[in-house]
DNA sequence: AAAGTCAGTGAACAACTGTACGCAAAGTCT
DNA sequence: AGACTTTGCGTACAGTTGTTCACTGACTTT
């Protein structure tokens, strides 16, 4: 069924990639709901109608971008979550990992930050779904940690969501910081570390019920 | 200088309001960078060219919306911040206040959440600026609290930003919850309260330096 | 009462949009 | 080798967009 992906499929994938990349580039300075199909094909250098061979609409392309941007992030989540060591070390390691990802895929990060609350319903839904998966993974990791012994399941999920949100806030802050001076980036990283540390302290002294 | 604002100016203000409201309505299901000038005037029932009598462009209208949506929020910030009482009471009061605001001005809240990372640079800048003002106010309030005695100024601002971010996260979560069942809303409120409480606990046990 | 201001009009413009249709040509299968 | 499939092309259409211009008519000022 899958020898080496015939030259036919290969070319198709290539065009598809080009469309996705061009869209991602254009989305650095606008949002998905204003992105035109023709705009994308023009940037790639193919006829407008070629678009339909790959996506049913721009919204469809948006969903594909979500899966690409967030689907590939699961390994990183697991890496962060399974990192051993002292609390502060873990936080620093996690923020470094996030910063590295932002440097490597800035357009993906910007896209997610922008479209998470953006104007396209299905894309918002796709992002929400992926983030819920992340929160689930983080919660499971938190659950298998002695610190979480007295915790109720509900509170664990709450904390996991807080961590996921912080991850996004940090990523988006880093993105905004690349424009400003070089020192700005370090300031953002330091701030992110301290936010995470404060949350960690809250976690350590948490008392359920209330 | 301001007798009773002649019938001329009054009518102008009325149309301006209509434009802002129509735009706000249209922005519930799309983002600013895809909002057309003609779309807005059509919704109001005036000629496209009338738009220019009030705003230079749609971006301009966006900035006006930011000032309207966030400028009017300063009193609420001060109310939250100056509320006295036990920690948990304050948190519950604050979340209630936020929830009330979301109920009263859902379109404004949606607009801010959407355009904070949206595709229009000047609007992002305007929002960022207002949020920085909020963070400053919160920091000042935190500074004049005995709990913050050992705190460095930098850390106080960090905490203030964390609170402001949480406010937005809560507001946007409440917005998404109105569609789902009635119980969903209470769940979101409970979650928000616990997040804020956890942060408060982290604050109480914070140790600077490190 | 006359002169001036100015919010809103309506027609016209070039440029753009998404989508439908049939065609070409290259890859794949029998 | 021949039949089939399918990616991409070109043309065309109706509808939309932002912006310009000269205009009307109600309100203000003198």
Note the pLDDT tens digit of each residue in A2-23: 346 677 789 999 999 999 999 9
Distance in Å, residue A7 CA to nucleotide C22 C1': 26
Using the beta-carbon criterion (under 8 Å), do A210 and B203 form an inter-chain contact?
Answer: no
Find and give the residue nearest to D5, measured CA to C1'.
Answer: A8
Please say whether the dihedral angle defined by the alpha carbons of residues A118, A123, A126 and A130, taken in this order, is positive or negative. Answer: negative
Residue of B nearest to A109 (CA): B117
Residues A103 and A167 in one domain: yes
Residues B17 and B45 in one domain: yes
Helix axes B74-82, B121-143, angle to 10 degrees: 20
Using the beta-carbon criterion (under 8 Å), do B195 and A31 form an inter-chain contact?
Answer: no
What share of chain A in percent tops pLDDT 70?
96
B9: confidence class by pLDDT, cuts 50, 70, 90: very high
Evaluate whether residue B62 is within a structural domain.
Answer: no
Evaluate whether residue A167 is within a structural domain.
Answer: yes
Per-residue pLDDT for B5 more than 80?
A: no
Residues B78 and B167 in one domain: yes
In terms of Cα–Cα distance, which of A45, A41, A36 is closest to A54?
A: A41
Best of A39, A114, A187 to mutate (most B CBs within 10 Å, chain B): A114
Structure token pair of residue A145: 């940690």
A70 in Cβ contact with A127 (< 8 Å): yes
Calpha distance A189→A95 (Å, rounded): 7
Best of B27, B28, B29, B34 to mutate (most A CBs within 10 Å, chain A): B34
Instruction: State the CB neighbour count (10 A cutoff) for residue A136.
Output: 14
* Per-chain mean pLDDT for chain B: 94
A94 in Cβ contact with A85 (< 8 Å): no
B119 in Cβ contact with B31 (< 8 Å): yes
Evaluate whether residue B61 is within a structural domain.
Answer: no
Structure token pair of residue A115: 């479209």
**CATH assignment of the domain containing B31:** 1.10.10.60
Evaluate whether residue B123 is within a structural domain.
Answer: yes
Contacts of B116 in chain A (CB under 8 A): 117
Q: Provide the shortest C-alpha distance from residue B45 to chain A (in Å).
A: 24
B2: confidence class by pLDDT, cuts 50, 70, 90: very low
Residue of A nearest to B128 (CA): A176
Residues 24-53, chain B, CB closer than 7 Å to nucleic strand C: 46-50, 53
Section A83-107 average pLDDT: 91
Cα diameter, chain B: 64
Q: Using one digit for the tens of pLDDT, what is the confidence trace for A118-140?
A: 999 999 999 999 999 999 999 99
Residues B95 and B193 in one domain: yes
Please identify, among B33, B56, B79, the residue that sits at the C-terminal boundary of a domain. B56
In terms of Cα–Cα distance, which of B49, B61, B59 is closest to B19?
A: B61
CB-based contacts of A98, cutoff 8 Å, min separation 6: A167, A170, A171, A174, A192
Residue B48 lies in domain: 7-56
Residues A196 and A175 in one domain: yes
Query: pLDDT at position B1, please?
Result: 41
Residues A178 and A107 in one domain: yes
Evaluate whether residue B209 is within a structural domain.
Answer: no
Nucleotide nearest to A51 (CA to C1'): D8
Calpha distance B33→A34 (Å, rounded): 6
A117 burial type by CB count under 10 A (0-12 exposed, 13-18 middle, 19+ buried): buried
B137 in Cβ contact with B161 (< 8 Å): no
**CATH assignment of the domain containing A137:** 1.10.357.10
Q: Which nucleotides of D are covered by protein (CB under 7 A)?
A: 6-12, 16-22, 27-29
Say how many residues make up chain A: 210
Distance in Å, residue A54 CA to nucleotide C28 C1': 20
Residues A79 and A162 in one domain: yes
Residues A33 and A93 in one domain: no
Q: What is the CA radius of gyration of chain B?
A: 20
Contacts of B30 in chain A (CB under 8 A): 33, 119
CB-based contacts of A107, cutoff 8 Å, min separation 6: A24, A25, A27, A28
Section B175-186 average pLDDT: 88
Per-residue pLDDT for A210 more than 60?
A: no
Residue with tokens 């839904």: A125
Using the beta-carbon criterion (under 8 Å), do A117 and B119 form an inter-chain contact?
Answer: no
Per-residue pLDDT for B184 more than 80?
A: yes
B182: confidence class by pLDDT, cuts 50, 70, 90: confident
* Per-chain mean pLDDT for chain A: 93
Per-residue pLDDT for B205 more than 80?
A: yes
Across A188-206, b (16+ Cβ under 10 Å) vs e yields: bbebbbbbbbbbbbbbeeb
Residues of B with CB under 8 A from a CB of A: 27, 29-34, 88, 110, 113-114, 116-119, 121, 128, 155, 158-159, 161-162, 165, 169, 172, 176, 191, 194-195, 197-206, 210
Q: Using one digit for the tens of pLDDT, what is the confidence trace for B142-158?
A: 999 999 999 999 999 99
What share of chain B in percent tops pLDDT 90?
88
Please tell me the total count of domains within chain B: 2
Q: Provide the shortest C-alpha distance from residue B165 to chain A (in Å).
A: 8
Evaluate whether residue B25 is within a structural domain.
Answer: yes
Query: pLDDT at position A84, please?
Result: 72
Evaluate whether residue B112 is within a structural domain.
Answer: yes
Using the beta-carbon criterion (under 8 Å), do B200 and A202 form an inter-chain contact?
Answer: yes
Residues A110 and A137 in one domain: yes
Count CA within 13 A, CB hemisphere, residue B160: 25
Using the beta-carbon criterion (under 8 Å), do B34 and A33 form an inter-chain contact?
Answer: yes
Evaluate whether residue A45 is within a structural domain.
Answer: yes
Per-residue pLDDT for B176 more than 70?
A: yes
């Amino acid at each position: 069924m899958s020898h080496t992906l015939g030259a036919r499929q290969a070319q198709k994938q290539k065009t598809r990639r080009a469309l996705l990349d061009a869209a991602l580039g254009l989305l650095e300075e606008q949002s998905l709901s204003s992105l035109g199909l023709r705009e994308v094909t023009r940037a790639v250098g193919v006829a407008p109608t070629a678009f339909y061979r790959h996506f049913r609409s721009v919204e469809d392309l948006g969903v594909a971008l979500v899966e690409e941007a967030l689907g590939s992030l699961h390994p990183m989540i697991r890496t962060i979550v399974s990192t051993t060591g002292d609390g502060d070390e873990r936080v620093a390691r996690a923020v470094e990992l996030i910063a590295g990802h932002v440097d490597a895929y800035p357009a993906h990060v910007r896209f997610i930050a922008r479209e998470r609350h953006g104007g396209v319903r299905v894309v918002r839904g796709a992002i929400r779904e992926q983030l819920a998966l992340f929160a689930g993974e983080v919660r499971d990791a938190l659950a298998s940690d002695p610190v979480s012994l007295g915790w109720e399941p509900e509170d664990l999920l709450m904390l996991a969501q807080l961590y996921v949100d912080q991850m996004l806030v940090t990523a988006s802050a880093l993105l905004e910081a690349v424009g400003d001076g070089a020192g700005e980036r370090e300031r953002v990283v330091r701030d992110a570390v301290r936010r995470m540390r404060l949350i960690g302290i809250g976690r350590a002294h948490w008392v359920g019920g209330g």
